[in-house]
Amino acid sequence: MADLVRVERREKGVAWVTIDRAEAMNALSGAVLEGLCVAAQSLRTDRSSCLVVLTGAGEKAFCAGADLKERREMTEEQARARVDLIGHACSLWSRLPRPTVAAINGVALGGGLELALACDFRIAARQAQLGLTEVRLGIIPGAGGTQRLSRLVGVARAKELVLLGRRIDATRAHEIGLVNEVVAPEELEAAAMRLADELAGCAPISVAKAKEAIDRGIDVIIDEGLRIERACYDVTLTTEDRNEGLRAFAEKRPPRFQGK
């Protein structure tokens, strides 16, 4: 079951996660969703990785969203449970305590784009198509899409995509800030690995706490956000890596962070 979602350890502390169901455009079947949850739970406590990359097998799809064939056979109750499961998988991914990047190698539609939105960064191959097309199926995005997309690109842009069920290409997605970078398909892997190079110079606890400060602070009034930031800052104050950062600066050498 879990092998529909493959987790590989790569160089530079990268955990490379692939949805391996190319024949169905990497659609989110129950088994794929279970695999995504298992992967997120194991990565949560894995201190050896500095970056988690999520991608889809093949060249056509990152993920075509909910499995619409399974959906046809479902009762209303099962459909509700499935929406909960997609939402749960996205939440687990969004809360990983290290940076995540969706390497969008092809279409990212519906739940597939919601999954990408649960990542910190999105890099898209030039031919990728993105959309929250649920209104064209008589539903709405239910795994965080209406919330995460509007926080990311603003309400007006989000409404263009969600209310019109519009599909956009990677270039347009980049223009509106939905993806961080657009690259040629054969460059996608290297672009994700470049993030790992950058992260090699950053203290892992600092990165985790900075992510937490941004993600928790975005939803609250600024005074509360500043309190969250301060609490996250305080955690870094007592780390060995903080001392190492200061020592390395004084000694004019690159820091050797241990994640402690």
189 carries an active-site annotation: no
By CB under 6 A, tell whether 144 contacts ligand CO8. no
In degrees to the nearest 10, what's the CA dihedral of 220, 226, 227, 233? 130
Query: Which residues sit opposite 56 in a β-bridge?
Result: 19
Q: Which stretch binds ligand CO8 (CB under 6 A): 102-110, 152-160, 208-216, 223-231?
A: 102-110
CA angle 138, 83, 168 (to 5 degrees): 55
134 carries an active-site annotation: yes
By CB under 6 A, tell whether 109 contacts ligand CO8. yes
* Whole-angstrom distance, CA of residue 42 vs CA of residue 36: 10
By CB under 6 A, tell whether 189 contacts ligand CO8. no
For residue 27, how many other CB atoms are within 10 A of its CB? 24
One of 67, 120, 189, 241 touching ligand CO8 (CB under 6 A): 67
* Tokens encoding 149: 């997309």
Task: Assess contact for 246 and 206: CB atoms under 8 A.
Answer: no
By CB under 6 A, tell whether 83 contacts ligand CO8. yes
One of 79, 135, 210, 248 touching ligand CO8 (CB under 6 A): 79
Task: Assess contact for 54 and 105: CB atoms under 8 A.
Answer: no
By CB under 6 A, tell whether 162 contacts ligand CO8. no
C-beta closer to ligand CO8: residue 86 or 149:
86
By CB under 6 A, tell whether 82 contacts ligand CO8. yes
One of 94, 105, 133, 146 touching ligand CO8 (CB under 6 A): 133
C-beta closer to ligand CO8: residue 27 or 101:
27
Which of 141, 152, 89, 133 is CA-nearest to residue 115?
89
Which of the residues are catalytic? 114, 134
